[in-house]
Structure 1
Amino acid sequence: MQFYVRVLTQAMFIYPLIVLIVTIPYVIYNYFKYGSVWSIRIFVVYSFILYMLCVYCLVILPLPSAQEAAKLHGHKRELEALQFIPKIFQQVHIEKDDPRTWINLLKSPAFMTNLLNVFMTIPFGMYLHYYFKKGVIKTTIYSFFLSLFFELTQLSGLYFIYKGSYRLFAVDDLIFNTMGGFLGFFIVWPFMAFLPSREEIDATSYERGKSISLPRRLISLMIDLGLLGVVVWALRQFGIFISRVEFYGIVVLAYFSILPIFTRGRTIGKFLTKTRIRGKKKARALPWYSYFLRYGSLELIVFWIPNLLFYAMLYLAEREGVQDSVQFVLLCLLSGVYILYFFLAAIKVLMKKRLFYERWSKTKIVSTVEWDEEDEEE
């Protein structure tokens, strides 16, 4: 039991790293497919990731020490089915005429190992049936291939990292892992009456995707600025350096103002989050200068004016000999006003109100999510 606790504890330490790696791609995928990220879907998917990580750690851990690895050679395998039965009778004493000794069958290591193999893949079958909407045949087949992947991982010595296998490849493991997935398909069935169905989860996600949330706008912005950052980095590798002023004054403004003219109001970030810029009136085509007015006014308030005030403050402080303490107070005041603006802007977005640059340019961000329930098949 201590072995399993130790392995699962190691999996829990690895899990946050896995979450960190997959979160942004998974969030982008959800916005691209559904236009929203719903907590119930997040819980189901991330619990599935945690389950798969725990099972994988049970398969590969503990790793052999350097001394043990040096002695590994060959690939151990047991290709005959139901070899656990003779092992049970070798491990425990059974008397045919004494039913009290029959309970020893349940205490044998061979029996417990195969029972755990069944339990190990029951959740897999439950997830496949409930969330991934697989039938009993596909669930059984996928459970078999999952077990085969685990067994080949062991047979290959962790993908040939080690010279030989440090775990036994056994046909019995394939049988009982597959059985676990098969049973999981039926075990989850009664609970599905109380859980939201996959169709209900999808329908709610699409419904939420019709509105534009603050995280959705931020993810879109992060994608666009991240791509521009990669472009600037690539240019630097070729000796082309772009200053901060050139980046915001030319690159950012051109990207956000020119690209949408040819893509019906979309940037790459907006395309991936299923949003676009549209005029105040739906039927009216958005003139090209609206994009420049929208993002030019935003840059003016968010970047140019704060920077001009900051450098003006430094210039006057140096020229007039203002004390450091006064400079610090002025800097805190300027930073406070800057932070307050973003705080108020976030509140307005949460209240579904248009921001100043949207009113000035008579534009707004709308969702492009479309859902055809008949086409929704996993």
Structure 2
Amino acid sequence: MSTFVIPAFVAVLVGCGLAVLAFVPFVAISYRRRGGLTFWHTLVWLAAAVYAMALWTYTLLPMPSAAEVTCAAVQLRPFQFVADILSFDTGSARALMTNPAVLQVVLNVVLFVPLGWFVRQLAGRGIIVATMTGLAASALIEFTQITGIWGLYSCAYRVFDVDDLMMNTFGAILGSLASLLLLRRQKGLEETDAPRPITVTRRLTGILCDLLIWGLFGWTVSIIYMFFMTVLGGGTVTEPEPIVTFIGFALPFAAQLFSVLSRGVTLGERLVLISAVQVRRPAEANRMLRFLFGIGGCMLLSQWTFPLSGLLLFALVAVSAVMVFTTRRHRGLACVVSGIEIDDVRATAAAVPVSTNE
């Protein structure tokens, strides 16, 4: 059971982790190329991330210890699977359904069917690209196996089989063909330049992007520092210095401050194409208010250690969350306090008259 459960668990865990890391650029690209974000499109991309990890985990895991490695054979004869199937009982449908060689071929085909489907659904490419992608992905996996994970082991611990290349590629072709029947055309997102309403989902997506920019940047700086210090220190793990932690906090803080003071909106709001269309005078002072009652205040309170900082942070987040649902155009607490109105960037651009020289 662990042969299937462990790779599945690792694939879901790592795939979701990759999806979180890629969420901010995914949002930015979706709003600019497709005009917005839909649940279906997001779900498909999440499934693609988990599936990409599943390809690796199911073909490479579990990894044996170096002392337990048994060198595997190399199978270079095309269609050897036919002889393998005939070497077992094939006298009835039941026998074929339980034939180990048949099951191996079916699993190799089924494993790559989603790849062909994703190629058409996400990249908009047809059978030729799906075929080449399936062949390339399968070859990468097979050569990773035959080289003992590129030299990590002294020899291959899984069989290199040319039939696997063929069946994997065939699975990608089937997936591409099946996608023709199941392809869902996204309605309402064809005109990417058309203004769209400010919804709760859109506001929450922008807020989530702000939080990820803040958290992931600091985490990335710390991880990079620990990696290099571990390498230079001969394998000894080193905790980040205070200056490293400060840099991880200060750079996204400064970027958010500049964005709010110059445009009236946060980085996350800019990613989802939200703009400030009206700022109460004096504009600079009210933009600073917006920053302090929004992402800036949350970042500062998270760093301060005075007795009420945690309570104030919780209150700020809770009130802001409630007001996103209850205020006009879902402006939230920071916009209400600062007197800032928000709208779709495309609506703002369309409202600006274009000057012409006669």
TM-score normalized by the length of structure 1:
0.65
Aligned residue for 2:63?
Answer: 63
Aligned residue for 1:29?
Answer: 25
- The 5 A counterparts of 1:171-320 are 171-192=162-183, 196-197=184-185, 199-200=186-187, 202-203=189-190, 211=199, 212-221=202-211, 223-224=213-214, 257-258=257-258, 260-261=260-261, 263-265=262-264, 268-280=267-279, 287-295=283-291
The CA deviation at 1:122 is 1.8
Q: Contact conserved, 2:259 with 2:267, CA < 8 A, in 1? A: no
For residue 110 of structure 1, the aligned residue among 86, 101, 107 is 101
User: Residues 239 and 165 from structure 1, CA distance in 2 versus in 1: closer, same or farther, beyond 3 angstroms?
Assistant: closer
Q: What is the DSSP-based 3-state SS (H/G/I as helix, E as strand, rest coil) of the residue aligned with 2:78?
A: coil
For residue 14 of structure 2, the aligned residue among 18, 23, 28 is 18
Aligned residue for 1:350?
Answer: 325
Aligned-partner residue type, residue 50 of structure 1: V
Aligned-partner residue type, residue 5 of structure 2: T
Measured in 2, the distance between the counterparts of 1:239 and 1:351 equals 40
1:364 aligns with 2:341: yes
Measured in 1, the distance between the counterparts of 2:244 and 2:267 equals 24
The number of residue pairs the alignment matches comes to: 319
Aligned residue for 1:169?
Answer: 160
Q: Contact conserved, 1:80 with 1:171, CA < 8 A, in 2? A: yes
Aligned residue for 1:87?
Answer: 84
Q: Contact conserved, 1:76 with 1:155, CA < 8 A, in 2? A: no
Aligned residue for 1:41?
Answer: 41
Q: Contact conserved, 1:220 with 1:272, CA < 8 A, in 2? A: no
Measured in 1, the distance between the counterparts of 2:189 and 2:150 equals 38
Cα shift readout 1:246-276 (whole Å, capped 9, x = no counterpart): x99xx96x76555545x54455444445444
Aligned-partner residue type, residue 55 of structure 1: L
1:77 aligns with 2:54: no
The CA deviation at 1:138 is 0.9
The CA deviation at 1:119 is 1.9
* Structure number with higher relative contact order (C-alpha < 8 Å, ≥ 6 residues apart): 1
Q: Which deviates the most, 356-365 or 40-49?
A: 356-365
User: Residues 356 and 13 from structure 1, CA distance in 2 versus in 1: closer, same or farther, beyond 3 angstroms?
Assistant: closer
User: Residues 215 and 168 from structure 1, CA distance in 2 versus in 1: closer, same or farther, beyond 3 angstroms?
Assistant: same
Aligned-partner residue type, residue 320 of structure 2: A
Aligned-partner residue type, residue 335 of structure 2: E
Aligned-partner residue type, residue 64 of structure 1: P
Q: Contact conserved, 1:7 with 1:57, CA < 8 A, in 2? A: no
Q: What is the DSSP-based 3-state SS (H/G/I as helix, E as strand, rest coil) of the residue aligned with 2:49?
A: helix
Measured in 1, the distance between the counterparts of 2:195 and 2:274 equals 14
Aligned-partner residue type, residue 22 of structure 2: Y
Q: Contact conserved, 1:155 with 1:169, CA < 8 A, in 2? A: yes
Q: Contact conserved, 1:27 with 1:37, CA < 8 A, in 2? A: no
Q: Contact conserved, 2:108 with 2:164, CA < 8 A, in 1? A: yes
Q: Contact conserved, 1:140 with 1:179, CA < 8 A, in 2? A: yes
Cα shift readout 1:29-80 (whole Å, capped 9, x = no counterpart): 23312346533223222223333333332211333354432x54xx742223
Measured in 2, the distance between the counterparts of 1:231 and 1:138 equals 37
Q: Contact conserved, 1:8 with 1:57, CA < 8 A, in 2? A: no
Cα shift readout 1:84-103 (whole Å, capped 9, x = no counterpart): 233344x2368xxxxx5798
Measured in 1, the distance between the counterparts of 2:75 and 2:3 equals 25
Aligned residue for 1:143?
Answer: 134
Identity within the alignment, %: 20
- The 5 A counterparts of 1:315-326 are none
Structure 2's unaligned 5+ residue stretches are 226-239, 348-358
The CA deviation at 1:140 is 1.2
Q: What is the DSSP-based 3-state SS (H/G/I as helix, E as strand, rest coil) of the residue aligned with 2:123?
A: coil
For residue 159 of structure 1, the aligned residue among 147, 150, 153 is 150
The CA deviation at 1:108 is 4.3
TM-score normalized by the length of structure 2:
0.68
Greater gyration radius? 1
Aligned residue for 1:51?
Answer: 51
Aligned-partner residue type, residue 351 of structure 1: T
Measured in 2, the distance between the counterparts of 1:300 and 1:182 equals 50
Q: Which deviates the most, 346-355 or 295-304?
A: 295-304
